[in-house]
């Protein structure tokens, strides 16, 4: 049994590569930060790969080393939960291009200097290829399941399309098979906020540690609005004032929602790199699974034996149910086995991260049916 099978193990592995990227570049070596939970069984059949979203990381069920907060998906991963280390060997890796241990713009180039904006532009498929290298390193041939929400769901779809013989089950939550024009627009606003910050300096800010935190905070604020629902915002904040009885007639955070968004922006810059935000949002914008397969989404899943579970939320306007239905229709056209459910939640896109008990029941039932 490999050392990698020990419970709660976190490490970074340097794989020699080279990793051929969609943009034409080749990356070598490839650093991948990851965590594992549980034990790989004798025949290697119980491995589940969890794919994280845009600003997530590999600390899926362990205390975050920077924030001190619990892992981002402890509602789904843990003892007695749908993805359980008592039953599964759980893997979660930090995506290529990120800033939390895997190769990205803050990594050192062969000359020893940070890549910054000289890091090659990456795609969702590049992220998945890097994950496949890690799975190979761990000695795993076929994954029991690949599971993810939002950008993580994009990776799940890419896994099923690129490595169909290695994925027995795929769980795609609050996601889509391509990034819409609206979502590209929101990302561009965030990127421009970062690049307009005088501290960005073309991405070369690592030497003095003076990062474009103001621009990154604004990018996070704009993005965070898209993760919520109008009903949720109204219920939680409405037009209530923040720690005051009357309007200030100035530009302080008069309203609770303003204070909340400012807090989200300020806390985000402590754990994330601005250049990584540029690279990962661009990877999401480039994602179009149909385009990768001759313009017809069903071609991505032709002949697949993978079981699919598609989940959407009724208040998610970032990745609305129509996006999931488009994937389901393509899977039906390809003759794939697919289950689909739209869940009700007031939380908008963020529902997959929050307390939605029905989501746990859906994922648990689907995974157990495939074991």
Catalytic residues: 150, 316, 349
Annotated ligand binding at 350? The verdict is yes
The 3-state secondary structure of the chain, one letter per residue: CCHHHCCCEEEEEEECCCEECCCCCEECCEEEEEEEECCCCCCCCCEEEEECCCCCCCCCCCCCCCCCCCCCCCCCECCCCCECCCCCEEEEECCCCCCCCCCCCCCECCCCCECHHHCCCCCHHHHHHHHHHHHHHCCCCCEEEEEEECHHHHHHHHHHHHCHHHEEEEEEECCCCECCHHHHHHHHHHHHHHHHCCCCHHHCCCCCCCCCHHHHHHHHHHHHHHHCCHHHHHHHCCCCECCCCCCCCCCCCCEHHHHHHHHHHHHHCCCCCHHHHHHHHHHHHHCEHHHHCCCCHHHHHCCCCCEEEEEEECCCCCCCHHHHHHHHHHHHHCCCEEEEEEECCCCHHHHHHCCCHHHHHHHHHHHHHCC
Annotated ligand binding at 26? The verdict is no
Binding-site positions: 220, 350
Residues marked as binding for substrate? 220, 350
């Amino acid at each position: 049994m490999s050392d990698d099978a020990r419970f709660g193990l976190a490490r970074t592995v340097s794989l020699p590569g080279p990793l051929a990227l969609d943009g034409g570049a080749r990356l070598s070596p490839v650093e991948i930060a990851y965590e594992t939970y549980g034990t790989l069984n004798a025949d290697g059949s119980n491995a589940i790969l969890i794919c994280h979203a845009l600003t997530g990381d590999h600390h899926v069920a362990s205390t975050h080393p920077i924030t001190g907060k619990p892992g981002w998906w402890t509602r789904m991963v843990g003892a007695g939960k749908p993805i359980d280390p008592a039953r599964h060997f759980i893997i979660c890796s930090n995506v290529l291009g990120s800033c939390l241990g895997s190769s990205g713009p803050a990594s050192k180039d062969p000359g020893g200097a940070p890549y910054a904006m000289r890091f090659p532009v990456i795609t969702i498929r590049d992220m998945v290829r890097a994950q496949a290298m890690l799975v190979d390193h761990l000695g795993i041939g076929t994954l029991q399941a690949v599971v993810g929400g939002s950008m993580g769901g994009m990776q799940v779809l890419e896994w099923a399309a690129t490595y169909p013989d290695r994925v027995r089950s795929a769980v795609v939550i609050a996601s889509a098979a391509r990034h819409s024009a609206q979502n590209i627009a929101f990302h561009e606003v965030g990127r421009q906020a970062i690049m307009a910050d005088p501290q960005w300096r073309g991405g070369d800010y690592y030497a003095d540690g003076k990062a474009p935190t103001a621009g990154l905070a604004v990018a996070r604020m704009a993005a965070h609005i898209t993760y919520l629902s109008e009903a949720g915002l109204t219920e939680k904040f409405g037009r209530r004032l923040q720690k005051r009885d009357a309007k200030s007639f100035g530009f302080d955070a008069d309203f609770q929602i303003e204070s909340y968004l400012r807090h989200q922006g300020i806390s985000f810059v402590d754990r994330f790199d601005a250049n990584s935000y540029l690279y990962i949002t661009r990877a999401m914008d480039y994602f179009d699974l149909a385009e990768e397969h001759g313009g017809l989404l069903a071609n991505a899943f032709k002949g697949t034996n993978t079981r699919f579970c598609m989940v959407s939320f009724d208040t998610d306007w970032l990745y609305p149910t129509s996006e999931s239905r488009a994937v389901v229709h393509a899977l039906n056209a390809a003759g794939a086995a697919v289950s689909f459910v739209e869940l009700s939640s007031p939380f908008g896109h963020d529902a997959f991260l929050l307390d939605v008990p029905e989501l746990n029941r859906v994922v648990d039932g689907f995974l157990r049916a495939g074991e």
